[in-house]
Amino acid sequence: MADVITYRDAVAEGLAREMRRDASVVCLGEDIGAAGGVFKTTVGLLTEFGPERVWDTPISEQAIVGAAMGAALTGMRPVAEIMFSDFLACCWDCLANEIPKVRYMTGGQVTVPLVVRTANGGGLGFGAQHSQATENWALTVPGLKIAAPATPADVVGMMAAAIRSDDPVVFFEHKALFATKGAPPPPGHVVGLGRAAVVREGADVTLVALASTVPLALRAADALSGEGIEAEVVDLRCLVPLDMATVLASLARTSRLVTVEENPYQGGWGGTVVSVVADEGFDLLDAPVRRVAGECVPLPFADALEEQVVPTVGKVVAEVRRLAAY
C-alpha cells in the first residue's frame, strides 16, 4: 500500500471496501459512473462493480434521494451522492421530513440504512450557491446522523461505519480537503460514529474543530506554540452523535475553549457545543468561551472577500490570544 493517500481517493476506497464486503451496497448520483464523479471521488467503481451497483442518475436531487430511500426500505444499503451540499435544499423534503422519521413512525419495524454523501464547504471561490458549509442544516433534523471527516483515514473508517449504520447518515466531504494527503487506512478500518479525536495535545486552550477547520486549528496551534501558548485540538468528526465527553475532558485540562467552525455563527454547531459546556462544564472554565465561525452573509466569489467571511488561522490566533490574556 502507498505511504499516503489523498482525501478524494479515500472516498472511492471507502466505498469500494464496503461494496466488496456487502453486495447490498449500491451507489447512485450524477456522473458517478464513467466520469468517476465531478470531484473524482468515485473513480474505478463502475469498472469494478458494474452498472448494476453504480447508477448514473438524472440531474434531480429529489429523484436521487427518493430512489435511495426506496432502495433502503427494500433491503439495499444505498449511498447517494448530492454533488454540492448546497443542493441538499433541492431534496430537503425527503431528507428532513421523510427519511429520518420512518424508523420512529413504524416503531422500529422499518429502518432506512442509507448514506447521503455530499461535497461541502468553501475556500475555493465557488460562489454563494456552491460554497456553503451546511452541516448546521442537517443538525436541526432529529433522526439524521452527521459525519464530517478531516483526514483520508477517517474518510474510509467513518464511511464504513456510516454505510453499516441502520440509521440514515449525511456524510460531508470537504471540497478544500480533496487534494490533501494522509496516512492510508489499514485493512478493515472502521471509525465508530460519535467518537471525537484529540489530534494535538496542549494545556492552555482547547480548540474544537470539524472537517476543514481541523487542519486550520492545527496550524493556529503551531503558530501559538511559538508564543508559548499550547493549544489542544479536538476533531469532533461527527455532530450526531456528538462526543461532548471528549470535549469536556479536554476542557478539564485546559480551562479555556474556542470552537472553530465554517458554519455561519448564527445557528452554527459551535453554539450547541458551547451550550453543553455551559450546562455541564461551567465550573471547568477560567475564561469566557469564544466562537470563531463563518460570517452571516452569502459567500463571496472573490477570494480576498471569501477570506474575510470564513475562519482563518489569524482569526483563531487572535481569539486565543484574547483568552490567554483574560
- CB-side neighbour CA atoms (13 Å) of 77: 20
Q: How far apart, in whole angstroms, are the C-alpha atoms of residue 42 and residue 176?
A: 17
Q: Given the DSSP bridges, would you call strands 5-6 and 181-182 parallel, antiparallel or unpaired?
A: antiparallel
The architecture that CATH gives domain 5-182 is 3-Layer(aba) Sandwich (3.40)
Beta-carbon neighbour count of residue 107 at 10 Å?
7
- pLDDT for 283 equals 97
- pLDDT for 2 equals 73
279: helix, coil or strand?
helix
**What's the CATH number of domain 197-324, 1.10.1660.10, 1.10.1760.20, 3.30.565.10, 3.40.50.920?**
3.40.50.920
Residue type, 22: D
Catalytic residue among 130, 173, 232, 306: 130
Which pLDDT tens digit goes with each residue over 144-174?
999 999 999 999 999 999 999 999 999 999 9
Beta-carbon neighbour count of residue 78 at 10 Å?
26
Q: How far apart, in whole angstroms, are the C-alpha atoms of residue 293 and residue 260?
A: 6
* 135 labelled catalytic: no
Q: How far apart, in whole angstroms, are the C-alpha atoms of residue 284 and residue 210?
A: 22
Query: What averages of pLDDT result for each successive group of 10 residues across the chain (326 residues)?
Result: 90 98 98 97 98 97 98 98 98 97 96 98 93 96 98 98 98 98 96 98 98 98 97 98 98 98 97 98 97 96 94 97 93
The CA-based angle 61-65-71, given to 5 degrees, is 145
| Radius of gyration for the chain, computed over Cα atoms and rounded to the nearest angstrom | 19
* 61 labelled catalytic: yes
Residues 6+ apart with CB under 8 A from 194: 237, 238, 240, 241, 242, 243
Query: Which contiguous run of DSSP H or E holds residue 206?
Result: strand 205-209
118: helix, coil or strand?
strand
Residue type, 100: P
Mean pLDDT of all residues belonging to the chain: 97
Which burial class, exposed, middle or buried, applies to 133 when counting CB atoms under 10 A from its CB (0-12, 13-18, 19+)? buried
Calculate the CA 235 to chain-centre distance.
Answer: 10
Domains 5-182 and 197-324 share a fold: yes
Return phi, psi of residue 19, to 5°.
-70, -35
- pLDDT for 1 equals 55
Question: How far lies 187's CA from each of 14, 36, 190, in Å?
Answer: 11, 23, 9
Catalytic residue among 13, 18, 30, 61: 61
Return phi, psi of residue 254, to 5°.
-110, -30
Instruction: Locate the domains of the chain by residue range.
Output: 5-182, 197-324
- pLDDT for 245 equals 98
